[in-house]
């Protein structure tokens, strides 16, 4: 495969956006290892978690582009996407999806038996999201859940089991992603009305949608505080929560009902900082944690 083809594929799946969910999965892995074994994940475990995350997300994004091809052709915002322009063929997209799923299953197999058993469930959840905007205004939460399972999946990858406390982090990621997806959907409100698609902005209007997104992000902070208390995490975790709260507040200050011009900065830049800084602070908390 040529370099230009690789760049086109990576652009199609927005590979750089892997930064959104991966730090939360790695945080889940750190919490799992420290809480259950009083140690750290092995290099092999981290490697296969990263491979699994990258492969699963690549498959999900490519499937989303295949399923939404008709809408991408019609929506002025998405007319330059690779499948629409023909830079990537539908046949190649299907091949890439199957390959990514296969790599995901290999990674799950390398982790532990439960991870492998649950791999088909994870793929089903990831693929199901692509259809939700056709029948529910709350597709944003389905997207959030698709990414939100990553900390729980990482816990399973480390321990071979599941503990209810890590589901708090999954819920926080679900609301975080759901909230910023509501913001992002504001720019497509006119097309959604024309195409008969569903979304929170279409249902409630942009101003109310911004309020709903703020409510989701307040929920994120409350859940992270609950999680820090539940695990008895030291001060870096609380510093991380304060940083996340400040960045979320800044994100919402960029987006106004009558001015969506800074939406890309809010969506891409700020959320990337949130996920990376969260891992940094909670990784430090894991290091200081007396377990």
pLDDT at residue 104 greater than cutoff 70: yes
Q: Which domain holds residue 132?
A: 3-288
Instruction: Check which CATH number belongs to the domain holding 72 and give it.
Output: 1.10.357.140
Percent of the chain whose predicted confidence (pLDDT) is above 90: 80
Distance between CA atoms of 26 and 53, rounded to whole angstroms? 10
- The first and second tokens of residue 12, run together, are 């199609």
Positive or negative, the CA dihedral 212, 214, 216, 219 is negative
Which pLDDT belongs to residue 134?
96
How much is the average pLDDT of 19-28? 90
DSSP string of 260-286? Answer: -TTHHIIIIIIHHHHHHHHHHHHHHHH
Which pLDDT belongs to residue 263?
79
User: Where is average pLDDT lowest: 70-79, 164-173, 188-197, 229-238?
Assistant: 70-79
Distance between CA atoms of 18 and 34, rounded to whole angstroms? 24
Distance between CA atoms of 167 and 25, rounded to whole angstroms? 12
Look over the chain and give the mean of its residue pLDDT values, rounded to a whole number.
Answer: 92
- Determine contact, residues 195/70, Cβ cutoff 8 Å: no
**Cα separation values, 14 from 59, 62, 83, 178, 198, Å:** 12, 10, 13, 18, 23
Burial (Cβ within 10 Å: 0-12, 13-18, ≥19) of residue 126? buried
How many domains, the chain? Answer: 1
User: Where is average pLDDT lowest: 14-23, 38-47, 79-88, 89-98?
Assistant: 14-23
Distance between CA atoms of 220 and 26, rounded to whole angstroms? 18
pTM, two decimals, is: 0.94
pLDDT at residue 16 greater than cutoff 60: no
Give bridge partners of residue 57 from the DSSP assignment: none
Tell me the helices (H) and strands (E) count for the chain, helix number first: 15, 0
Which pLDDT belongs to residue 264?
76
Confidence of residue 87 (pLDDT cuts 50, 70, 90): confident
Confidence of residue 261 (pLDDT cuts 50, 70, 90): confident
Helix pair 166-185, 139-159: axis angle to 10 deg: 150
Rg, C-alpha atoms of the chain: 19
What is the residue whose two structure tokens read 């999806």?
97
pLDDT at residue 69 greater than cutoff 60: yes
pLDDT in tens, 110-135: 999 999 999 999 999 999 999 999 99
Confidence of residue 18 (pLDDT cuts 50, 70, 90): low
- The first and second tokens of residue 268, run together, are 């891409």
Which pLDDT belongs to residue 88?
86
């Amino acid at each position: 495969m040529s370099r230009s083809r690789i760049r086109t594929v990576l652009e199609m799946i927005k590979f750089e956006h892997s930064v959104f969910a991966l730090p939360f999965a790695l945080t889940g892995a750190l919490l799992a290892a420290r809480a259950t074994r009083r140690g750290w994940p092995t290099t092999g475990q981290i490697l296969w978690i990263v491979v699994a995350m990258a492969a699963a997300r690549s498959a999900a994004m490519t499937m989303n582009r295949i399923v939404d091809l008709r809408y991408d052709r019609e929506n002025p915002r998405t007319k330059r996407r690779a499948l629409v322009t023909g830079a990537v063929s539908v046949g190649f997209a299907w091949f890439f999806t199957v390959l990514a799923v296969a790599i995901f299953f290999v990674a799950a197999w390398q982790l532990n038996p439960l991870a492998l058993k649950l791999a088909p469930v994870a793929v089903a959840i990831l693929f199901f999201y692509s259809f939700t905007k056709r029948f529910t205004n709350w597709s944003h939460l389905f997207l959030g859940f698709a990414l939100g399972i990553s900390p729980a999946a990482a816990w399973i990858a480390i321990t071979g089991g599941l503990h209810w406390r890590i589901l708090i982090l999954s819920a926080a990621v679900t609301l975080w992603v759901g909230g910023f997806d509501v913001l992002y959907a504001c720019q497509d409100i006119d097309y959604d009305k024309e195409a008969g698609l569903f979304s929170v902005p279409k249902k409630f209007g942009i101003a109310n949608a911004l309020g709903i997104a703020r409510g989701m992000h307040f929920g994120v902070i409350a859940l992270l505080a609950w999680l820090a208390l539940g695990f008895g995490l030291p001060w870096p975790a609380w510093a991380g929560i304060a940083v996340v709260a400040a960045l979320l507040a800044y994100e919402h200050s960029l987006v106004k009902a009558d001015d969506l011009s800074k939406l890309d900065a809010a969506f891409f830049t700020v959320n990337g900082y949130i996920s990376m800084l969260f891992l940094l602070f909670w990784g430090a908390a894991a290091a200081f944690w007396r377990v």
